């Protein structure tokens, strides 16, 4: 029996959950395929997203355990847009330690929290106090999220709250975004760790064509030992946005 919360797909519609090729992500197959994450706080949504309940494997008493998944909308999340756009690797999986710059109210952060699970950790940095409040409230029920209400331009201010991370995800929409990511990488990103950056062309230079802006940003990243490996535009979900994925201080090739 499938129950879909929040006015989801038609009640009683058969939904099959299949693992996505990115570990920790799933596809809910019904009339339309939806990207979903396993809800680490069953019964609670974060921002009014649809929830899908399915019967999991039988528990100790022989009755199936209920599993709940949350639908991840690519029009509300750059990371979901990149995943559905076919990005090769997001470098975020169960157990990952992630520094998330530009956490906003925590919609995408909550899905990253689902992916990394109880053995992982998401340090979410957000400077604006209004969304920061929502981020803190979301983190109350998700113990693997550490909300940090600070300016990502000053990583020394929150170094006491941080450990080293495997991956930096950045969606800060600032003209000096490449420098902000590089600064945080110097302090917190392990050598050979990865970065995923969402670039909004108009935030950096609203007069130049988007492709030229993306190319310039990639050059800035290369100058900071952030080696881009993949670039992807976020059409049809976002206009003039790209995601750049790469590796930090790649080990020398033998």
Angle between helices 177-188 and 210-223 (to 10 degrees): 30
Residues 6+ apart with CB under 8 A from 50: 4, 5, 6, 7, 8, 9, 34, 70, 71
Centroid of chain to Cα 164: 18
| Contact status, residue 90 vs residue 79, Cβ threshold 8 Å | yes
Please state, in angstroms and rounded to a whole number, the distance separating the CA atoms of residues 100 and 148: 10
Whose CA is closest to 101, among 24, 23, 162?
A: 162
Structure tokens belonging to residue 129: 């106090």
| Contact status, residue 66 vs residue 53, Cβ threshold 8 Å | yes
| Contact status, residue 78 vs residue 238, Cβ threshold 8 Å | yes
Residues paired with 95 in a beta bridge: none
Per-residue confidence of the chain (254 residues) as pLDDT tens digits?
344 444 444 455 689 999 999 999 999 999 999 999 999 999 999 999 999 999 888 888 888 889 999 999 999 999 999 999 999 999 999 999 999 999 999 999 999 999 999 999 999 999 999 999 999 999 999 999 999 999 999 999 999 999 999 999 999 999 999 999 999 999 999 999 999 999 999 999 999 999 999 999 999 999 999 999 999 999 999 999 999 999 999 888 77
Angstrom distances, CA of residue 3 to CA of 14, 55, 69, 202: 10, 10, 11, 41
DSSP helix/strand/coil, 17: strand
β 145-148/121-125 pair status: parallel
- In this prediction, residue 13 carries a pLDDT of 66
Angstrom distances, CA of residue 79 to CA of 6, 86, 217, 224, 234: 22, 11, 18, 23, 9
Q: In what order do the strands lie in the sheet with 16-19?
A: 3-5, 51-58, 64-71, 33-38, 26-29, 16-19
């Amino acid at each position: 029996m499938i129950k879909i919360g929040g006015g989801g797909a038609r009640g009683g519609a058969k939904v099959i959950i299949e693992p996505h090729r990115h570990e920790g992500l799933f596809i809910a197959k019904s009339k339309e395929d939806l990207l979903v994450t396993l809800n680490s706080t069953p019964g609670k949504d974060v921002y009014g997203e649809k929830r899908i309940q399915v019967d999991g494997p039988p528990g100790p008493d022989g009755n199936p355990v209920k599993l709940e998944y949350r639908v991840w909308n690519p029009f509300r999340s750059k990371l979901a847009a990149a995943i559905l756009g076919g990005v090769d690797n997001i470098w975020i999986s169960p157990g990952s330690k992630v520094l998330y710059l530009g956490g906003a109210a925590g919609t995408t952060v909550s899905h990253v929290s689902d992916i990394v699970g109880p053995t992982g950790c998401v340090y979410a940095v957000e400077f604006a106090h209004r969304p920061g409040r929502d981020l803190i409230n979301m983190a109350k029920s998700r113990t693997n999220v550490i909300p940090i209400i600070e300016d990502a331009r000053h990583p020394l201010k929150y170094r006491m709250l941080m450990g080293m991370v495997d991956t930096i995800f950045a969606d800060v929409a600032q003209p000096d975004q490449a420098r902000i990511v590089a600064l945080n990488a110097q302090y917190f990103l392990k050598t050979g760790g990865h970065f995923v950056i969402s670039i909004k062309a108009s935030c950096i230079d609203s007069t130049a064509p988007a492709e030229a802006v993306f190319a310039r940003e990639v050059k800035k990243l290369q100058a900071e030992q952030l080696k881009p490996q993949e670039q992807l535009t976020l059409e049809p979900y976002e206009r003039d946005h790209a995601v750049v994925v790469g590796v930090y201080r790649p080990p020398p090739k033998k």
